[in-house]
Chain A
Amino acid sequence: MSLRGADTLGGRAAVAGIGATEFSKDSGRSELALAVEAVGAALDDAGLAPDDVDGMVTFTMDTSPEITVAQAAGIGELSFFSRVHYGGGAACATVQQAALAVAAGIAETVVCYRAFNERSGRRFGSGVQQREPSAEGAALGWVLPSGLLTPASWVAMAAQRYLHTYGLEPEVFGHVAVVDRKYAATNPAAHFHGRPITLADHAASRWIVEPLRLLDCCQETDGGQAIVVTSVERARGLRHPPAVIAAAAQGAGRAQEQMTGFYRDDITGLPESGVVARQLWRSSGLTPAGIDVAILYDHFTPFVLTQLEEFGFCGRGEGAGFVAEERIPLNTHGGQLGEAYLHGMNGIAEGVRQIRGSAVNQVEGAGHVLVTAGTGVPTSGLILAQDA
């Protein structure tokens, strides 16, 4: 687990359970209730009881503390609890934290969760208009008075430069949207179940922040998702075949920012994703050719292309062509554009389903799944594998 050498975490822990609430535009219940419900569903899926849990991990952004979720979910004493920062960049890192705790013997069974009313409550897409004068607030404060206020706008700044650098038009982002919506159309849990789109639909959708259109943007969702992590040995005795955590990594780049990485030498890439990619490949011994399904974080389409490039699936500027040719099964649940925006946690669940062979859009013989987390922020990634 380092920038300089392969780690020893791979193969020590596995995902044994996944559980979610329905994904909706108005859950009608509290974020805490959603979290508790998702945790309960994940434990049921694993065949474990609340008393089996001794660790919990969530996002710093989550409004439901580990102790309160535990309290309401029937979970008792905890020997490990942790939170990961940087928005959706935390998603895969929650599983990494859980795996670390399990591998070190600090906890035996850890539940990772994320739950919010992101559509009916605080909508990220409605933008930011003020920040406290902390170091973190000041970092975003450089752009707010000029009216660069939304996640879409922060991504669009990099996307515009990307298009310019590679001589592309905004319509190329439509390939990601079309693929996501194709898989969502056959996923009953997806918001856009039964509603595929074409490139023409994408190109005809209205501007949100040029060069991003409405159909480049993910859903805003109410819901909860939980993931149960335990040792591979323990997982083998549970209800489903283990989804082994073959590699897990976090990454931040030099001069890293949160969504406003405008000041680095080249803004057409995502160096933090590159940091994650190098570790995942080195620790797993895999290459892009060994990946059967890629679940790439897609709050906005452009960074899916950048991630494909950072992970080495294709060359710089070639992401759109790679997606257009569907050279790898991508976001088979419909992604966050098609299924739901659960801050990346629903993507981990899809990775687990692919490994188990139970996905609605199952890729035959999926042995290795790459899952990534929030982009444009310090981020994380996982390679899930079938048990050897």
Chain B
Amino acid sequence: MGEPAAGRDADVDDPLYERLASYEGQPAATAVRGRDPVNAPMIRHWCEALGHPLPADGSAPPTMLQVWTMAGLTEPSRQTDDDAPGGRSAAYEGLLGALDEAGCTSVVATNCEQEYVRTLTPGEEIVFDSVIESVSPRKRTGLGTGYFVTTRMDVRAGGTLVGTHRFRILKYRPAEPRSTGEPPAGRARKGNRRPRPVINRDNAGFWAGVEREQLLFQRCTACGTARFPWLPGCNGCGAREWTAEEASGRGTVHSFVVMHHPPFPAFDPPYAVALVELEEGVRIVAQLAGISYRRVRIGMPVRVDFARLEGEDEGLVLPVFRPAGPVGDEEPVCVGDALPPLDVPVTRTLIVAGALASRDFQDVHHDAEAARERGSPDIFMNILTTNGLVGRYVSEWAGPAARLRRVAIRLGVPNRPGDTMTLTGRVTAVRPAPAAEEHGPGRTVELSIRGANAAGDHVTGTVLVELPGRDGKGARG
């Protein structure tokens, strides 16, 4: 899949980029109608293909949003007024054509960000407008050199907005085949990079633990004193034998600061940094997440989480702390709660059925030979299926009364036949939902989601879901 964190190409002058950038802000599609009305057979087919619960009210799962906008295998979407084939505007055709001419003939989706205003029910006809939001400068990625193109689509039905869909693709010239595991070329070295942990032989065990999402401290074998920071001997008794112990991750804020000045490129002031006292009795400095710097207080309970950084910091994992314990009155869903993991066997059937059920007929998702010609060893899962699986995972946890409000995902390594993707999630924020007449009071829960296979993270993202009431009915899977 794409490497959105890839380095900018070394060449500074790029006349093509200037030409591509001139398309920014132009429409990609205008008033295009969906290929079919929202309909029960496609909903059922899609739910079966992805193992998604079938909504009891007959509505379409929100994560099907893009499906209704997809063109058919041979028939283009219908235009309200004839313009270009496939519902694409002349501008978007021009942009893609320019990329094709430059040899960037391959395409892969890297990000999908959807917000759901309401659900769609069978019989509704959708109309969408799409705009070319941005084109990146030329990037070198693990797949090849190309450009990220981001479009934003508004989907309407019955004259009202039902959802928005921001989509990022990489149009690229395939790289020469290379051995896997090689770090991507051309990574930026400085700039916005966060300071790195200072790792040496004395503390490497701690950072290795962080990679595995374990917070490790030392305990002196001789006198039992818990020790942090890591050192090769005990300040309590001088003994040099020790064991590493995993902390529960629970602690309290012993002190904190709010950083304002000077600014550092990798950080976004103001931000809070805390000195956390773990329940095992040792202290550690870490950033706080999931809470405004204004609300941090000494003594507040926190729980460890592990932040996997992106962009120039891709590959860096750091412990962070989130507020722990109930956020409001009697709320059963708490920040720090983990969703039960879900293993999804990535079968050939799932990949192909998912692609076809989402009306994605790109050959790399069903034709192994075609995929190999494009540099992939086998077919791989399309982003619409991944998006749907994330929706499924959250919907199964949240229960049928919950409403998905937003799904934003970013793809990493591909899901190929034979992989098993394990989805995990964690509650990162809970707040009162905006008043909704139909559903009464509820809570908006923010979730951090990961889907990983043996090669690494296939998908990372955040989901906003509204849970009903305060009784938490159906809220815990």
Contact = CB atoms under 8 A, between A and B. Distances in A.
A147 B235 contact: no
Interface in A258-274: 260, 262-263, 267
B43 to A, nearest CB: 46
Contacts of A210: 257-258, 260, 270
Interface string A288-322: 00000000000000000000000000000000000
A248 to B, nearest CB: 27
Nearest to B256: A160
A157 B255 contact: yes
Nearest to A254: B235
Interface stretch (B240-248, B279-287, B323-331, B436-444): B279-287
A239 interface: no
Contacts of A144: 195-198
Given A126-B262, A130-B196, A146 B287 contact: yes
Contacts of B235: 254-255
Interface residues of B, number: 38
B47 to A, nearest CB: 43
B237 interface: no
Interface in A161-193: 161, 164
Interface in A145-165: 145-150, 153, 156-158, 160-161, 164
A160 B316 contact: no
Nearest to B286: A146
A127 B191 CA distance: 15
Contacts of A137: 198, 200
Contact of A149 (B195, B255, B260): B195
Contacts of A160: 255-257, 298
B432 to A, nearest CB: 27
B313 to A, nearest CB: 9
A71 B92 CA distance: 72
Contact of A207 (B197, B260, B286): B260
Contacts of A145: 194-197, 316, 318
Given A160-B257, A160-B298, A267-B255, A262 B273 contact: no
A153 to B, nearest CB: 5
B255 A138 contact: no
- Interface residue tally on A, bucketed by range: 35 or more
Interface string A224-249: 00000000000000000000000000
Contacts of A29: none
Interface string B333-367: 00000000000000000000000000000000000
A357 interface: no
Contacts of B199: 133, 138, 141
A147 B259 contact: yes
B275 to A, nearest CB: 5
Given A139-B229, A254-B235, A148 B264 contact: no
Given A127-B262, A127-B264, A145-B318, A262 B275 contact: yes
Contact of A146 (B229, B270, B273): B273
Nearest to B313: A145
A142 B195 contact: no
A349 B282 CA distance: 41
B121 interface: no
B260 A161 contact: no
B228 interface: yes
Nearest to B255: A161
Interface in A5-45: none
B228 A161 contact: no
Interface string A103-145: 0000000000000000000000111111111110111111111
B261 A161 contact: no
Contacts of B275: 157, 161, 262, 267
B198 A140 contact: yes
B257 A148 contact: yes
Which of B258, B259, B264 gathers most chain A CB within 10 Å?
B259
A48 interface: no
B266 to A, nearest CB: 8
A131 B282 CA distance: 24
A165 to B, nearest CB: 9
A374 B367 CA distance: 69
Given A148-B257, A263-B282, A135 B264 contact: no
Nearest to A148: B273
A209 B258 contact: yes
A73 interface: no
Contact of B283 (A148, A150, A211, A262): A262
Given A142-B229, A254-B235, A262-B275, A153 B259 contact: yes
A195 interface: no
Contacts of B314: none
Contacts of A128: 195
Contacts of A142: 197-198, 229, 284-285
A133 B200 contact: yes
B202 interface: yes
B376 interface: no
A208 B270 CA distance: 10
A153 B255 CA distance: 12
B285 A133 contact: no
A135 B255 contact: no
Contact of A129 (B195, B261, B287): B195
A128 to B, nearest CB: 8
B56 to A, nearest CB: 46
Contact of B287 (A132, A147, A255, A267): A147
A150 B267 CA distance: 13
A276 B78 CA distance: 84
B271 interface: yes
Which of A126, A145, A164, A207 gathers most chain B CB within 10 Å?
A145
A145 B206 CA distance: 14
A267 B274 CA distance: 14
A160 B264 CA distance: 22
A207 B270 CA distance: 10
B203 interface: yes
B285 A148 contact: yes
A256 B270 CA distance: 29
B254 interface: yes
B203 A138 contact: yes
A292 B227 CA distance: 43
Interface string B360-392: 000000000000000000000000000000000
Contacts of A138: 198-200, 202-203, 229
Nearest to A207: B260
Contacts of B260: 206-210
B235 to A, nearest CB: 5
A289 B92 CA distance: 82
Contacts of A164: 255, 298
Contacts of A143: 273, 285
A147 B271 contact: yes
Q: Which 8 A-B pairs have the closest CB atoms?
A: A141-B198, A210-B258, A144-B195, A133-B200, A161-B255, A156-B257, A207-B260, A143-B285
19 contacts: A130-B195, A137-B200, A142-B197, A144-B197, A144-B198, A147-B271, A147-B287, A149-B195, A149-B264, A156-B257, A160-B256, A161-B254, A164-B255, A207-B258, A207-B261, A210-B260, A255-B235, A262-B283, A263-B282
Interface of B: 194-200, 202-203, 228-229, 235, 254-262, 264, 266-267, 270-271, 273, 275, 282-287, 298, 316, 318, 320
Interface of A: 125-135, 137-150, 153, 156-158, 160-161, 164, 206-211, 254-255, 260, 262-263, 267
Given A125-B262, A138-B203, A211-B257, 16 more contacts: A127-B264, A131-B198, A134-B200, A138-B198, A141-B203, A147-B264, A148-B259, A148-B273, A157-B257, A160-B256, A161-B275, A209-B257, A209-B261, A255-B235, A260-B285, A262-B254
